[in-house]
Structure 1
């Protein structure tokens, strides 16, 4: 969109696709489609990794072991990790998608509400607050794009203001995805850690 803003108008075309969405074609679009496909593949790998760490307690990794049948502390850690993983995967789907419909932002409401309603651990309250602020900022910027300024975005002469807002929204979403992924991996990694380090571990497990 930035490239379209600064390049000649005849280099670009805007049409409604068979999916009833505006589709913009022009220089560089094919490359970004490949980036989107690569991001989707990375998201699938992340989902598999989180599933291994959370559902299987990272079985096979150094310092990890399967939980006992009744382990309240491990269950609480697993539940928190599941919430962060759910949020990271949903944000990842939005960011990696080849389309960004405004209603996608509503997908974040459920996991964010669960994260707060379930009561986060002391060390997770600040990250939960941070991702909520980022999500609300992205939602507000999305509202400025659609429906308030969407005509200027897909018209023959794109507006500089709405393009800037769109870029800002997308950067916030990328930051949100990275932030959620980081905390999801940290929470998932802790699920399978032994609570009683063995004498030959050599160092404390954190």
Structure 2
């Protein structure tokens, strides 16, 4: 099949699946389980009214986002001829389409013209069902995808997008972990810092409560879908005295041992960041895929060790997996497939059979164990593959027999053999 034919195939599939997604969030096609769109029509719209009046939700503990999230919540105001919820879904569709365009272009620039990244995005997003269009995480993911794809040629633009993404939801800062050493890293980090500081200062000076979210986040516990929650799901069958309650905007476990597990999650996150630091110091082999692979690994570790693995978090991983697969030399193919599998299970876990998860019945426990097990396996595989491809010997080096520094020049690649640390 020709390159144009492959592009038409992925775009056609994208269009068909997105029509179905729109029909689900608009209520035309019912999806079993709770209505996931109430976050938009009730919570987001309530925040919209406050933000439009010039203040953050100071007394709402469910507001747990950096100040840049206000931009996503206010965005439906750009379409005043639609209801708030409908405008939000239309914007999500437009952002989805833009992200696909970026990935199709990136795929087309690679030798062979394979549409791996575009297909991962096309297939992975609808695997989350209506939730993906009913949360603003799609917008954050789009900024992250754009930042990574711009990194090689335009590091300052990439850094600015990272800074914007961080003001939307913090985690895009992890995209900087794999930037090539030298000027690229300095330019990207400087642009990210300048953008984040400038936007933060603007919000702080113009709107009260810009950083109230920090206190609300600190009080979070162990959410019922996190890796650590499986312990309490099983413990409920053994007489554990805790309970499941809506707490700080999410359904969490409360009771004996919860604080210990929450602290253990923080320790795991800190340990993961320590591993990333060691990797960064020891990595010697950088290819065009390395920044993508490292970003995917970092966000995967951050997600798996989080006290909260909400369903919409999966779109972060789908987006970064798609970017990885735009590069032939990526070390993350198997981890990307594991993430796609986990995303499909997430749709079953929420919203379709969410009641089983809330009640910790055997089906709910099985779904969570499978989803979180797939994520944990993906994280471990991702770390090993990244390490082997950039630091030590192993399967990851089979595809990169010589250490190469790959730089983008125009629409082609040039590579230069390098020795030692880069």
- Could you say whether these structures have the same fold, taking a TM-score greater than 0.5 normalized by the shorter chain as the test? yes
Displacement of 1:94 after TM fit?
Answer: 0.5
User: Which residue of 2 is the match for residue 116 of structure 1?
Assistant: 325
Q: Which runs of 4 or more aligned residues in structure 1 lie more than 4 Å from their structure 2 counterparts after TM superposition?
A: 194-197
Displacement of 1:53 after TM fit?
Answer: 3.7
Between the aligned partners of 2:242 and 2:255, the Cα distance in structure 1 is 5
Between the aligned partners of 1:16 and 1:32, the Cα distance in structure 2 is 18
User: Which residue of 2 is the match for residue 32 of structure 1?
Assistant: 261
Between the aligned partners of 1:31 and 1:91, the Cα distance in structure 2 is 23
Displacement of 1:153 after TM fit?
Answer: 1.7
Task: Please report the RMSD computed on the Cα atoms of aligned residues, expressed in angstroms.
Answer: 2.6
User: Which residue of 2 is the match for residue 187 of structure 1?
Assistant: 389
CA contact (8 A) 1:87 1:111 kept: yes
Between the aligned partners of 2:419 and 2:272, the Cα distance in structure 1 is 33
Displacement of 1:177 after TM fit?
Answer: 0.6
User: Which residue of 1 is the match for residue 237 of structure 2?
Assistant: 6
Between the aligned partners of 2:346 and 2:263, the Cα distance in structure 1 is 24
CA contact (8 A) 1:84 1:187 kept: no
Q: Deviations over 1:127-184 (max 9, x none)?
A: 51x22221111111111110011122224xx321111110111111111110001111
| Unmatched tracts of structure 1, length 5 or more | 58-73, 198-206
If asked which structure has higher relative contact order (CA below 8 Å, sep 6+), I would say 1
Equivalent runs, 1:41-190 vs 2, <5 Å? 41-54=270-283, 57=284, 77-120=286-329, 124=331, 128=333, 130-155=334-359, 158-189=360-391
Q: Deviations over 1:19-72 (max 9, x none)?
A: x10111234323322321111111221222233245xx4xxxxxxxxxxxxxxx
Between the aligned partners of 1:96 and 1:183, the Cα distance in structure 2 is 19
SS at match of 2:328: coil
With normalisation by structure 2, the TM-score equals 0.37
CA contact (8 A) 1:84 1:183 kept: no
| Unmatched tracts of structure 2, length 5 or more | 1-229, 393-402, 405-416
